[in-house]
Chains A and B, each alone.
Chain A
Amino acid sequence: DVKVTQSSRYLVKRTGEKVFLECVQDMDHENMFWYRQDPGLGLRLIYFSYDVKMKEKGDIPEGYSVSREKKERFSLILESASTNQTSMYLCASSPSTGGYVQPQHFGDGTRLSIL
């Protein structure tokens, strides 16, 4: 089974802090994604990556950055945390198969609270 592991299930940080959320997948997937999920707003894509050292902005990249130095690891960085970044953050991965859409596999999420 595909395993996507997020470093923390719950995290509490203060406004202005730099926050790192880590995600690791064990299936050698090329594609990795960061989403946030908020009540009434559904799932929104923050950043994604198709390969090591590659990154592309999703729908709501403002206030976030990402890092992908190794294939299995995709980090989300909140440069200066703000209260409106309190949310559930979900990491996902999928393989690239050149022309056939593959399902994304999700981690269990990190519930981040910014005080």
Chain B
Amino acid sequence: DAKTTQPPSMDCAEGRAANLPCNHSTISGNEYVYWYRQIHSQGPQYIIHGLKNNETNEMASLIITEDRKSSTLILPHATLRDTAVYYCIVRVGFRDDKIIFGKGTRLHILP
């Protein structure tokens, strides 16, 4: 799996959009970008994934650059409950195999 680079921490004001960047410059053509988050004392939670098109679900939006070397996770209206460590990973495989988390971004939502 290709490696990803994320800022170690970010702050965002409550109610504003949180934009979390991720670099994955060595991503292969058949690798997907996945985002998970982990709230303190809980298991990781799947957020969203995409291949090359932008994706949106009830939790977030995922913007992938045209060259696929970076992406941004957008939480449109951040709340205090969004305080967590956010992990960006890239994965490929016909079978669902192991997930490897990097250090992630610790997002602090400020009241």
Q: Which residues of A contact B (CB under 8 A)?
A: 4, 31, 33, 35, 42-43, 45, 48, 50, 58-59, 90, 92, 94-96, 98-99, 101-109
B92 engages A101 (CB within 8 Å): yes
Q: Which residues does chain A contribute within 8 Å of B95, judged by CB atoms?
A: 31, 50, 96
- Choice from B32, B46, B102 contacting A104 with Cβ under 8 Å: B46
Q: Report the Cα distance A1→B99, complex, angstroms.
A: 21
A104 and B96: CB pair below 8 A?
Answer: yes
Q: Which residues of B contact A (CB under 8 A)?
A: 32, 34, 41-46, 49, 91-103
Q: Contacts of B103 on A, CB cut-off 8 Å?
A: 42
Instruction: Determine the chain A residues whose CB is within 8 A of the CB of B96 once the complex forms.
Output: 31, 94-96, 101-102, 104
Q: Which residues of A contact B41 (CB under 8 A)?
A: 108-109
Q: A43-B99, A43-B101 are in contact. Are A99 and B94 (CB under 8 A)?
A: yes
Could you tell me the distance between the alpha carbons of A109 and B94 in the complex, rounded to whole angstroms?
Answer: 27
A45 CA to B100 CA, complexed, in Å: 9
B28 to chain A, nearest CB (A): 13
Residues on A with C-beta less than 8 A from B100 are: 42-43
> Across the interface, do B46 and A105 meet the contact criterion of CB distance under 8 Å?
yes
- Which residues of B lie under 8 Å from residue A43 when comparing CB positions? 44, 99-101
Q: Is A90 touching B101 in the complex (CB atoms < 8 A)?
A: no
Q: Could you jot down 13 A-B contacts, CB within 8 Å?
A: A42-B103, A43-B44, A43-B100, A48-B97, A58-B98, A59-B98, A90-B44, A92-B43, A94-B96, A101-B32, A105-B46, A106-B44, A106-B45
Inter-chain CA distance A75–B103, complex, in Å, is 28
